[in-house]
Amino acid sequence: MKYTELSTLGEFGLIDLLTRNIKHKNNSTLKGVGDDAAVLDYHQKKILVSTDMLIQNIHFDLTYTPLKHLGYKSVAVNASDIYAMNGTPRQITVALAVSNYFSVENLEELYSGIYLACEHYGIDLVGGDTTSSKTGLCISITVLGEANEEDIIYRNTACENQLICVSGDLGAAYMGLQLLEREKVVFQGDKKVQPDFTGYEYILERQLKPEARKDIIELLREKNIRPTAMIDVSDGLASEIMHICKDSGIGCNIYEEKIPIDYQTFKMAEELNMNATVCALSGGEDYELLFTAPLDKYDLLTALPSISVIGHTCKASNGYQMTTRDGNTFELKAQGWTNFTTTEKNEEKKS
């Protein structure tokens, strides 16, 4: 692959190169890249704003993360926050710090992933900042989205005796990460050995190229189901359920057997001598939607293959409970994304 040093272009040349093919998709984008600020027009719609930062060797490892996938993922995780408010993402700004050892071609690769995700989610890239770093790659994306005020769904509006539902399946992204970390060690030990991912394509994709659940938002609208509270699952199911419950002043009971877990996730967990339920509860990076809904939507919701009803809300004094497969109950604990306590991402969730 060609290797052009960043210094040959300079900051302005680089920005020109990376943004020269932008075509806006949204009427709300009046002016994108190229001035002190972008100019947007949301008319009477409300503005949703969210920011996520991805740091090399904390959130991603370039040993096994293709830059295009990383670009895609960094947009998807931001879009996910807007969908979790029941809104539509419209614009992003991308702030990037890169070491000198990255080439122009590396950044084009990263941006090709960013633009692919923008295409997929209907987002315009309208601004950003590109700077050098002494220490690897840092990507900070801010996403703006729109929603009618009456459509916005917050975390703190769940009530007692409602259904707790989650889209897709959980724990797969975390198992994908564990697999990549294992194969990385194998790969580093003997350069001739190629990593073997056969049969684990799904969990790898969940880790490397997650999708924001735009489709679920559309499905719920189509079925006329309005969640009473919603959040996206970025830090693991336990942490997110507790956010909804704490903020809404209620308790919950979920059922281990109802938590949707893919076959590959189970298989990988078994291979690594881990508990698949713990991975779903605390693994994170699933970017599924967790929401509460009125009890009378039970039949409608259980008929949808992409949604699982995993429990129900109850009064606050009950706490946050999970009923296990063998009928025991225990208190949920939020581990969150405790990246201040350990140095390796893969060590965080093992404890």
Closer CB to a second copy, residue 117 or residue 137? Answer: 137
Among positions 88-107, residues that touch a second copy (CB under 8 A) are 91, 93-97, 100
What residues contact residue 33 under an 8 Å CB cut-off, 6+ apart?
15, 19, 22, 125, 126, 127, 128
* Sole window of 29-37, 184-192, 198-206, 250-258 interacting with a second copy (rule: CB under 8 A): 29-37
Give the residue with the Cβ less far from a second copy, 289 or 322. Answer: 289
| Cα 349 to Cα 351: distance, rounded to the nearest angstrom | 6
Q: Which of residues 115-134 bind a second copy (CB under 8 A)?
A: 126-129, 131-134
Please identify which residue in 70, 82, 166, 177 interacts with a second copy, judged by CB under 8 A: 82
Kindly identify the residues of this chain, within the stretch 166-205, that bind a second copy according to CB under 8 A: none
Neighbours of 233 (CB within 10 A): 27
Nearer to a second copy, 229 or 269 (CB): 229
Return the range that interacts with a second copy (CB under 8 A); candidates 149-157, 195-203, 254-262, 275-283: 149-157
Torsion of CA 262, 267, 272, 276, to 10 degrees: 40
338 binds a second copy (CB under 8 A): yes
Q: How far apart are CA 119 and CA 68, in angstroms?
A: 14
CA dihedral 9, 5, 119, 153 (to 10 degrees): -100
DSSP symbols for 306-336: TEEEEEEEEEGGG-EEEE-TTS-EEE-----
Report helix, strand or coil for 209: coil
Site for a second copy in 40-69 (CB under 8 A): 40-44, 46-53, 55, 57-59
Contact 14, 40 (CB under 8 A): no
Please, what is the minimum distance in Å from the beta carbon of residue 27 to a second copy? Answer: 13
76: contact with a second copy by CB under 8 A:
no
Distance CA 145, CA 140 (A): 17
Positive/negative CA dihedral, 97, 102, 103, 109: negative
Q: Which is nearer to a second copy, 323 or 346 (CB)?
A: 346
Instruction: Annotate each residue in 295-334 with x if it binds a second copy (CB under 8 A) or - if it does not, as one string.
Output: ---------------------------------------x
136 contacts a second copy (rule: CB under 8 A): yes
Q: What is the CA radius of gyration of the chain?
A: 21
Q: What is the DSSP letter of 124?
A: E
Q: How far is the CB of 350 from a second copy (least distance, A)?
A: 16
Map the footprint of a second copy across residues 8-27, applying CB under 8 A: 9-12, 14
Residue from the set 273, 328, 341, 351 that interacts with a second copy by CB under 8 A: 341
Residue (1 or 37) nearer to a second copy, CB: 37
Does residue 145 touch a second copy according to CB under 8 A? yes
Structure tokens at 171: 């724990």
- Binders of a second copy among 203-242, rule CB under 8 A? 230-232
Q: At 236, which amino acid appears?
A: G
CB 139 within 8 A of CB 54: yes
- From the list 23, 27, 149, 351, which residue makes contact with a second copy (rule: CB under 8 A)? 149
Q: Which residues in 242-281 contact a second copy (CB under 8 A)?
A: 247
| Residue 140 or 308 having the CB closest to a second copy | 140
Residue from 282, 43, 250, 33 nearest 155 by CA: 250
Cβ contact 345:337 at 8 Å: no
Contact assessment for residue 218 and residue 205, using Cβ atoms and an 8 Å cutoff: no
Task: Candidates 68, 69, 73, 155: give the one binding a second copy (CB under 8 A).
Answer: 155
Smaller CB distance to a second copy: residue 124 or 262?
A: 124
- With CB under 8 A as the rule, give the number of residues binding a second copy: 78
By CB under 8 A, name the one of 18, 19, 26, 38 that touches a second copy.
38
Residue written as token pair 């735009």: 214
Q: What is the nearest approach in angstroms of a second copy to the Cβ of residue 136?
A: 7
